[in-house]
Structure 1
Amino acid sequence: LRVNQDEPMEDYPLKVEGGKEDDSRRFGMGQTTKDQMRTNVINEIISTERDYIKHLKDICEGYIKQCRKRADMFTEEQLKTIFGNIEDIYRCQKKFVKALEKKFNKDHPHLSEVGSCFLEYQTEFQIYSEYCNNHPNACMELSRLTKVNKYVYFFEACRLLQKMIDISLDGFLLTPVQKICKYPLQLAELLKYTNPQHRDFKDVEAALNAMKNVARLINERKRRLENIDKIAQWQSSIEDWEGEDVLVRSSELIYSGELAKISHPQAKSQQRMFFLFDHQL
């Protein structure tokens, strides 16, 4: 998961100051057109959330529930590896879509004030961090299982019984990763068509920054886990390791390179490979 948090701010509408016209008027976009564009973005947000809820429901009820009935094929640990915390995400998203629908103005969608919903759930959305970090493990476990025909047939039967579209399970499990990446893009588009005088403007602006921060946090946690994994692999490659594990105090390799070891002034220098980790000095 890597999200570009640095969207060009020049695309966003400018606040009206000193009687100057806003972006929509300077570029020839009338208010009616801008309201229609905002309506389109709002409708897309609501529609995609409803589709996403159905998608999560299909995974939880179509796959996980069926897998739990087959203890002869799956351990609980395997299911945790394959599906991560997607059930927690499903519960969170059900509440989120209800909050969105309460703020949705059916008669005048462009007047909907949805920014506060994203602000309210920004902390809960951090549960995506665990899911995104686990996703590579899920892919590896699925790849291992689908080399055995009975698992291929079982997963296909689950899909057909739930009447899901013709996509493999690993494709379905990628959706939450894509979803958390899409929120900043949707909010940037919404902000673009929200007038500074709109009651939702400040909340949408804050929500965009909040969701960028969520994506940034997820990326940072993923980077740390990748660093920890690299350190663990590095240490396991060294024979006859002595002392405590590097990971007891460190989580990042700061620098590595060759240094010359000199025991005393007259001694011949010896080339050594040195590694500098955080919190070791």
Structure 2
Amino acid sequence: MKAARSGTKDGLERTKIAVMRKVPFLQRKDQLEEEDDAGYLDVAVSEVKHPPPQLSPMPEGLTSQQVVRRHILSSIIQSERSYLESLRRILQEYHRPLMEAEPRILSPRKIRPIFYRIREITQCHAMFQIALASRVAEWDSSEKIGDLFVASFSKSMVLDVYSEYVNNFTNAMALIKKACLSKPAFLEFLKKKQASSIDRITLYGLMVKPIQRFPQFILLLQDMLKNTSKGHVDRLPLQLALTELEMLAEKLNEQKRVADQIAETQQLARTVSDRLLSKQLNSEQGSLVLCETLIEMVFGERGQVLKSKERKVFLFDDVLICANINVKGPPDISSLVPIGPKYTIKWSAPLQLVQVVEVGLEAPQGKDTKFQHCASKRPSTVCTSAQNKTSKWFWAPPRLYQELQELQHDLSVVEEVTLLVGTLQGTYQNLNTTVAQDWCLALQRLIRIKEEQIQSANKCRLRLQVPGRPDKSGRPVSFMVVFNTANPLSKISWVNRLHLAKIALREENSPGWLCGEDEDRSISPFWYPLLACHMPVFASICHSLLHH
């Protein structure tokens, strides 16, 4: 209607269609949004005209591979039937009763975002089930299923619908949680629906199924491909179908991850008391680079672990934030929908002042603070510029370093003993050069094992030197934070992302055509190459010319 009022050709065509459909021009905005929903047409699929797929009895004389493929096809049929039934339950047992309830439990304006794109997903799979029934009916003559998946799920419409559902999923769960807290009638409605269902599955359990659907398809088709010979007519279509579904699942997983990170950032911003930091988190100019739950380790003076606790670490393009995780929530609500963790900031630091400290290397020296590396018995975790330069650090794991030092000390002593044993003039049964050399070999073997243990521990250990608040005299203070990552690749990812993010903050990597202060402009959505270092191009040529 907006286009019709503007007098465009497209608006005229839309107006004609609206008149043919007898759509009144004076409607509320939410009614228009409901009818004109991305071109969606709700087509009723009758199970009388289109019965669900049914596999015929197994004929005789099938090979073992054909029998296995029929069983996998039966699993696909049952899985799809169960999935479609779950989608219809969402619409029939939750969406429709909420929309028709008198008095209102929730307003339609709040109901629609919760069930966003469920109808469209149901429609896609209703169409897929019709095609699947046709293919199953001719299975014994064709034994082909891969091309059906390619034709059904390679359409852009499927990706668009699922993408919008996945992007909205975190928001939908937040709306359900908020409605449970503010509307007791809605909470009671969800409890009754769960109690009356046969499987006692919650609304969340039903709504998470679209997110799990394509990974389930991939597993089933992988099994089908394993039991399809190389010369089979279905092998290439199955490979194409797996490629399509894996690409689709990867895109959806990435979108879900980004949506979850945005939601976590927004939740974190609501708990910030610092205005400047809150402005940074809420600003569209800043972006989240990496976000992960890490284990913070605190060590004692003997190298023992005093405390370990989960922290959520947020790496933005200009600030690093460590947050406490609080997962407590009302038990009656958390049983129906995941509450999700709440975060409170423990510390934050400008990214340019954060340093990664690797074991075996001296800590990076700044203008104000100095750190040196060694395994020490001093249990200090804070260092100021006024500290003695010989003050050493536990870089962790301290206990392993201490044990390694003790072994190295014992080896040096045994080597001296070996030299002294060689000067003995008499012959003794258990005191000779051979026995002493065996001692040395045994200690060397223990040292190698200890070094391997240290190396293995360090592969998952991330050490950061973080600036703290100045002390009473105004001197800068820094402290060391040690995190355990889930695996070595995670640590490598953190080190690399921190390094690249700091490089991106340099002046030479701030293009002049990107103006963050200009509200009318938006930052370009592409990544531009980072300048890591300056390399003189003409200096060597000029130098050689001067000498010639």
TM-score of the two chains, using structure 1 as the length reference: 0.70
Instruction: Confirm whether residue 49 of structure 1 aligns to residue 86 of structure 2.
Output: no
Moved more, 175-184 or 85-94: 175-184
Instruction: Provide the C-alpha distance between the structure 2 equivalents of 1:186 and 1:243, rounded to a whole number of angstroms.
Output: 45
Higher helix share: 1
* DSSP 3-state at the match of 1:247: coil
- Residue 275 (structure 2) aligns with: 239
Q: 1:223 to 1:170 in 2, by over 3 A?
A: closer
Aligned twin of 2:429: none
| 1:200 aligns with one of 218, 221, 234 | 234
Matched residues in 2 for 1:94 and 1:86: separation?
12
Contact 1:261 1:269 in 2 (8 A): no
Tell me the CA shift for residue 235 of structure 1. Answer: 6.4
Partner deviation per Cα, 1:140-160 (whole Å, 9 max, x = no partner): 333444455532443355568
Counterpart position of 1:5: none
1:119 aligns to 2:150 (yes or no):
yes
Alpha-carbon distance, 1:172 to partner = 1.8
Task: State how far apart, in whole Å, the 2-side matches of 1:153 and 1:246 are.
Answer: 38
| Shift, 1:139, TM fit | 3.1
Residues 136 and 240 (structure 1), Cα distance of their counterparts in 2 relative to 1, 3 Å cut: closer
Whether the aligned pair in 1 keeps the contact of 2:146 and 2:234 (CA below 8 Å) is yes
CA distance 1:235–1:182, change in 2 (3 Å): same
The alpha carbon displacement at 1:136 in A equals: 3.2
Q: Residue 166 and residue 34 in structure 1: after superposition, are their counterparts in 2 closer, same or farther (change >3 A)?
A: same
Structure whose alpha-carbon radius of gyration is higher: 2
Equivalent residues in 2 for 1:1-281, closer than 5 Å = 32-70=63-101, 72-106=104-138, 108=140, 111-120=142-151, 121-122=153-154, 123-126=156-159, 127-146=161-180, 149-155=184-190, 165-229=199-263, 237=272, 238-240=274-276, 246-248=283-285, 250=287, 252=289, 253-254=316-317, 256=320, 257=351, 258=353, 281=510
Q: Which residue of 2 aligns with 1:7?
A: none
**Once the 2 structures are TM-superposed, how far is the Cα of residue 227 of structure 1 from its aligned partner?**
4.2
Unaligned runs of 5+ in 2: 1-61, 290-315, 321-350, 355-364, 368-473, 479-497, 511-548
Unaligned regions of 5+ residues in structure 1, if any? 1-30, 263-267
Cα shift readout 1:7-50 (whole Å, capped 9, x = no counterpart): xxxxxxxxxxxxxxxxxxxxxxxx81111111111111122212
Structure (1 or 2) with the greater strand fraction: 2
SS of structure 2 residue aligned to 1:104: helix
Contact residue 145 and residue 238 of structure 2 kept, 8 A: yes
Do the aligned partners of 2:214 and 2:249 also contact (CA within 8 Å) in 1?
Answer: yes
Which structure has more RCO (C-alpha within 8 Å, separation ≥ 6)? 1
Does the 8 Å CA contact 1:224/1:251 hold for their aligned counterparts?
no
CA 82–228 in structure 1, closer or farther in 2 if over 3 Å, else same: closer
Identity of aligned residues (%): 21
Aligned-residue Cα RMSD (Å) equals 3.8
Is the deviation greater in 60-69 or in 118-127?
118-127
Paired amino acid for 2:92: E
AA partner of residue 168 (structure 1): T
Opposite residue 223 of structure 2, the aligned amino acid is E
User: Is 188-197 or 116-125 further displaced after alignment?
Assistant: 116-125
In 1: Cα distance, 2:201 partner to 2:264 partner: 33
State the TM-score, normalized to the length of structure 2.
0.39
